[in-house]
Structure 1
Amino acid sequence: MFFKPRFSTKKYARRGFRLRGNTLVLLFIFFLIGLFLHYGGRTQPVVAFWNDFRQMIGLGRSRADTRKDNPYKAPEPNEPDVATDNRRDKGSQSDESEASDTKTDAPAPTNSPSTASSGNARFDFEKQVNFILPAVKPGDDIVQREGYTLRYRDQYKDADWVAYPLLAYETTGDADRKYEQFKPDPAVSNGTALPSDYTRSGYDRGHLAPAGDFKFSQRIMKETFFMSNITPQTPDFNRGIWKELEELVRTWAIRDKGVYVITGPVLKPGLPTIGKANEVSVPEKFYKVILYCNKPDIRMIGFLLDNTASNASLQQFVVPVDRIEQLTGIDFFPKIPDDLERKLESKSRDEMVADWFAN
């Protein structure tokens, strides 16, 4: 004999409140939207939460999150995009971890690779103050930093050249770009572009003086993240052929115990622009001019590249330096005696390739 309940269990179960699968999905979607809005539209916290949730339920991290981090997409600044001048009174001592933002009407002396630091013998003209700098004019917006010097063009919200000596030891060390953020430059008279001018523009924040050239010092690497040193570059160019050229220059600096580097965009009226707060010109071409001196040996080479991806050999982008001068209107290394300067700047591609790529 079996006990038979007076009520139906099936009927009772149907009367209870039960969330259907679609309802749960909708609630989860609304939760993610709320989380996204809560963080002001920033996706990083939402992605982090999603990855943690996936790990909790045993699905692992998302495929996008397991990819190698893109070193050219540094995090957005936590502070507002406003340049503030944090310079202290003359009598106060600055924090050693802060990058210098000193700006003077005339640039401070730019150090050249010395005999003691590089082992190379210097020409007399190398010993002149600011030997490395291109010709400057009164009223130029020159920014002098510990690691490099640049000329900023407010018309384009870009620097048209950045110059610095690069020694072998400067390319190695523990400094890491992941600790740095892009930031406006308080040393520029009329202000620089803001990091947010590049947001969702389709362009990388491309370095002119590369962070990788200053791995010996976190403080000096920090300087390279000022927006005065940044320019719009297409991602495939910045992470491809341009990165390859930067690595080649570091290889030469090690091989030759020091070189002089001048790099920049080719700026001209009518370029397309990006930006919300500023109109930042997008260069069509970029150049590098490299000089090696070890008395009596001296050689110079120029590179001119389109701001687009390329699989070509770097040797294909070698051009006479006087061609870059014609395009940019910039006089490179004006303190080299005129006859020698003309000889160096007019060399053909084949001559420069033989001089620089032979070893």
Structure 2
Amino acid sequence: MQPDQTESTPNVLAVNSLSTSADDSNLLLGNPSDAKASSVEGNNYLMDKTYFALSYNSGKGTPNWVSWHIQSSDLGTTDRSDDFRSDADLLSGWYNVKPGSYTNTGFDKGHNCPSGDRTSSKSANSSTFLMSNMIPQAPYNNQQTWKGLEDYSRALVKDGKEVYVICGSYGKGGTGKNGGTTNTIDGGNVTVPANVWKIVVVLADGKKDLTRIDKDTRVIAINTPNQNSIDKDWKKYRTSVADIEKATGYKFFTSVSSTIAAVLKKKVDNLN
């Protein structure tokens, strides 16, 4: 359902005034779908959740993409909050996905921005449990393949790096633990994606990040089928950013010089 066009939009000023060029900004690398914090953008609604930014798709009940930055100060000792809950910032008239929307569906409540990337405080960790940060994800995809890349990304940070991450999904129809292809759950209100992708840009920890991105910057991109039969080794699903662009229609690295971005988009990571 499309929102009432007269509905006031929460956090519009905060999102539209969000600096995307400042070091460590969640949108430093750009806004892949040109999402906007406007009530007319129901399927491409820009939201600033402080600890990550996202484009929400009210028609699918899931984010199109989520973008965030990880540095050493983001990784602390806060326990996992597990306080899954609806997002109160969604506009009136939009279906509000609840934790129970995924019950007995055969799919996990799959984080885009992981709980483990936000352990510096209770509020940081709790933010990742908003349902606007979730997709119906095949359990093995979530708990094995994606967990592997998430752990690897955090290990890079602990080893003196900082990373910028963009994660999303596309298509329709996944296979969970109940078997068979499922297109939607929760009475058709939540779309089950066919594919889940992620892009990780790796830099040595430092300042003036945009100026330090060059043709030699490491870029890790993966694109996985949302299936429970998936291989647990995320490295087997490495691809190029250019291929993710073709699959999604998004445009990545818009804040980076076009010459450098063109080189980075063609890369297929092969490091261990």
Which range moved further: 245-254 or 141-150? 245-254
Is 1:141 paired with 2:45? yes
Query: Would the aligned equivalents of 1:185 and 1:228 in 2 still touch at CA under 8 Å?
Result: yes
Q: Which runs of 5+ in 2 are unaligned?
A: 1-9, 175-181, 205-211
- Paired with 1:263 and 1:146, the residues of 2 have a C-alpha distance of 16
- Paired with 2:86 and 2:12, the residues of 1 have a C-alpha distance of 18
Secondary structure (helix, strand or coil) at the match of 1:331 reads coil
The residue that corresponds to 1:186 in the other structure is 88
Letter in 2 for 1:255: D
Q: Per-residue displacement from partner, 1:80-106 (whole Å, max 9, x unpaired)?
A: xxxxxxxxxxxxxxxxxxxxxx63164
Query: 1:1-359, aligned counterparts within 5 Å?
Result: 103-104=11-12, 106-107=15-16, 108-109=18-19, 113=23, 130-135=27-32, 136-138=34-36, 139=41, 140-173=44-77, 175-177=78-80, 179-189=81-91, 190-267=94-171, 272-276=183-187, 279-294=189-204, 295=212, 298-308=217-227, 309-347=229-267, 349=268, 352-354=269-271, 357=272
> 1:137 and 1:219, CA in 2 relative to 1: closer, same or farther beyond 3 A?
closer
**Greater strand proportion:** 2
- The root-mean-square deviation of aligned C-alpha atoms, in Å, is 2.6
- Paired with 2:20 and 2:82, the residues of 1 have a C-alpha distance of 24
Could you tell me how far 1:251 is from its partner in structure 2? 1.2
Q: Per-residue displacement from partner, 1:79-132 (whole Å, max 9, x unpaired)?
A: xxxxxxxxxxxxxxxxxxxxxxx6316442358556xxxxxxxxxxxx9x9423
Identity %: 26
Secondary structure (helix, strand or coil) at the match of 1:180 reads coil
- Paired with 1:311 and 1:268, the residues of 2 have a C-alpha distance of 20
Query: Would the aligned equivalents of 1:141 and 1:188 in 2 still touch at CA under 8 Å?
Result: no
> 1:166 and 1:302, CA in 2 relative to 1: closer, same or farther beyond 3 A?
same
Could you tell me how far 1:181 is from its partner in structure 2? 1.6
> 1:180 and 1:314, CA in 2 relative to 1: closer, same or farther beyond 3 A?
closer
TM-score of the two chains, using structure 1 as the length reference: 0.60
- Paired with 1:111 and 1:327, the residues of 2 have a C-alpha distance of 27
- Paired with 1:319 and 1:155, the residues of 2 have a C-alpha distance of 28
Higher relative contact order (CA 8 A, sep 6+): 2
- Paired with 1:248 and 1:205, the residues of 2 have a C-alpha distance of 21
Could you tell me how far 1:249 is from its partner in structure 2? 1.3
Number of aligned pairs? Answer: 236
Q: Which runs of 5+ in 1 are unaligned?
A: 1-101, 115-126
TM-score of the two chains, using structure 2 as the length reference: 0.78
Query: Would the aligned equivalents of 1:103 and 1:142 in 2 still touch at CA under 8 Å?
Result: no
**Greater helix proportion:** 1
Query: Would the aligned equivalents of 1:166 and 1:253 in 2 still touch at CA under 8 Å?
Result: yes
Query: Would the aligned equivalents of 1:111 and 1:165 in 2 still touch at CA under 8 Å?
Result: no
Query: Would the aligned equivalents of 1:256 and 1:292 in 2 still touch at CA under 8 Å?
Result: no
